[in-house]
Amino acid sequence: MAKNIYTLPACSEHGGGQMSEQTVEQTETATFFRRMREQNQGLTFDDVTLQTGYSEVLPHSVDLATRVTRNIKLNMPLISAAMDTVTEHQMAIGMAMHGGIGVIHKNLTPDEQVGEVQRVKRFLNRKINHPTTVRDDRTVESLLREKEEKGWNFDTFPVVDAEDRLVGIFTKRDLRFVENHSLPISEVMTADIVTAPRTTGINQAYELMRENKVSVLPLVDNEGHLTALYLIGDVMRHREKRSEYTLDKNGQLMVAAAIGAGTQGIDRAVQLIESEVDLLVLESAHADTQSMLETLRALKRDCPSVDVLVGNISNPRSVSRLIDAGADGIKVGQGPGSICTTRVVTGTGAPQLTATYWCAEQSDMPVCTDGGIKYSGHIVKALAAGAETVMLGSLLAGTDASPGDMVTIKGIPHKLYRGMGSLGAMKAGRGAAERYGQESVPPEKRTPEGVEGAVPYKGTLPGVVDVLLGGIRSGMGAIGAASIAELHRRASFLRETAAGGREAHPHDIVIVTEPPNYTR
């Protein structure tokens, strides 16, 4: 571990006694940022580079497991931002299947946001413990109407009789051959079904489904009552890649959702918790405020079982207040995003790398760096400065999983991407205006702290994430860090000049083939 020993002067309680020396052992990173602070310098990612050293760590052997909060672990350090052009259910599903997590934005009504959370939770089930059933005497028409009203995105319904005994299965395949929707489900369902005992495990379920060539396996008790349900798609996904997924205790994908301050934020949180959200992200453009702290205390008092990631801040003095109020993780970043104008409009905030280090240095609370990430190397630098996760917006907004609209600019496909402080976002929903403390301001008088733009279309989410993770692994391998915790200890920063920054980029050529992980 790279360390530097230096001495700090210590004086008596009253300041007039004899000076003594206190020996302090520090990492090279701590020494670097201490010297920058002595010069009143705030740095961001392109202001520094990380020094390489002797390494026995190959990139493929790097362990990227980390924490987003004190109780929630991830298999990789990437989180998708709570932005209305970045994260809805499709992005959250993709991030969880890669080992990260997505944060459903709050520029939705509470019911809409709950619906997005539920679509993530229902996407993958090791075993469905509370399947939605339908009575056998109900008409097909009434079931289809309820399915549309409630936004259900599943098509398999166990059918039960008046005594709640399983009598059949109704699926999309059955519906395909129904011409008269006024018929009772008992006349169109599949009655000849394979069942298994309630104690059947996932591997046993797979063998039964394979042997009988069925895609649905209901579990029943001795009286024939339905207790749970296996679906072949879920079973196969768990068998193939379950070790990579971010899963809850029930084998479902984990998902986070954003909330704001005040009673409306708490009411929204209660609805989200009832929908089995795994993580609440209490967010504001400035989180170290009375209303945010009061909301956090109320949440942790009334809903202590759910972790809360709180942000955003950039001042290390804010960390202790958030921790005292009950934060389970801290989100850092005020104005570094590519679509954010907060620092220009308000004149406040701090460069992102410095903010990350000084907030992470205050405690062992997990810190998430939110904003300012353009390259995978920036992620390595953020993690080296003490972050345990990074929140991404623009890097993911151009993928197929983002909800932004596709547009063509100069013949090149782009996806729309906007800051939550932009006028467009604040007009689209209450959540954006609330994040910037302008929900009570008339729309025509609101002050934007973000812009609306577009990013080049980058293809599939897995393709983008895999390239980012490859860059992170290469950077950590070059430093000799086999884990994020080891990166915190071994990292050594070097201040980079403008000329050094130019040297780091391709220069003196015309790029004819642009790689997927680099734009200038």
The three state secondary structure string of 371-384 is CCCCCHHHHHHHHH
Global pTM reads 0.82
Determine whether domain 134-236 maps to CATH 3.10.580.10. Answer: yes
CATH class given for the domain over 59-123+245-439+446-504? alpha beta
Cβ(101)–Cβ(95) under 8 Å?
Answer: yes
Q: Can you read off the two tokens belonging to residue 126?
A: 């090791």
Domain with CATH 3.20.20.70 in the chain: 59-123+245-439+446-504
Handedness of CA 92, 86, 99, 325 (dihedral sign): negative
pLDDT at 3 over 60: no
Sheet strands side by side (includes 452-456): 406-409, 412-418, 452-456
What does the pLDDT look like over 246-290, one tens digit per residue? 999 888 899 999 999 999 999 999 999 999 999 999 999 999 999
359 catalytic residue (yes or no)? no
Calculate helix-pair angle for 317-325, 290-302, nearest 10 degrees: 30
User: 126, 435, 473, 490: which is the annotated catalytic residue?
Assistant: 435
Separation between Cα atoms, residue 16 and residue 292, nearest integer Å: 41
Place of tokens 């169109």: 188
Q: Is the pLDDT of residue 234 over 90?
A: no
User: What was the pLDDT predicted at 242?
Assistant: 65
Residue tagged active-site, from 67, 119, 268, 340: 340
Is residue 435 flagged as an active site residue? Answer: yes
What is d(CA 397, CA 146) in angstroms, rounded to the nearest whole number?
Answer: 33
* Residue of 467, 474, 451 whose CA lies nearest to 399: 467
Cα atoms found within 13 Å of the Cα of residue 141, Cβ hemisphere only:
5
Lowest mean pLDDT among 167-171, 306-310, 430-434: 430-434
Strands (E), 90-180: 101-104, 134-135, 157-160, 166-170
Which residue type does 431 have?
A: G
Distance CA 502, CA 47 (A): 11
CATH 3.10.580.10 range(s) for the chain read 134-236
In degrees, rounded to 5, the angle at the alpha carbon of residue 280 between the alpha carbons of residues 275 and 281 is 145
479-489: average pLDDT: 97
Q: Is the dihedral of CA 352, 358, 359, 361 positive or negative?
A: positive
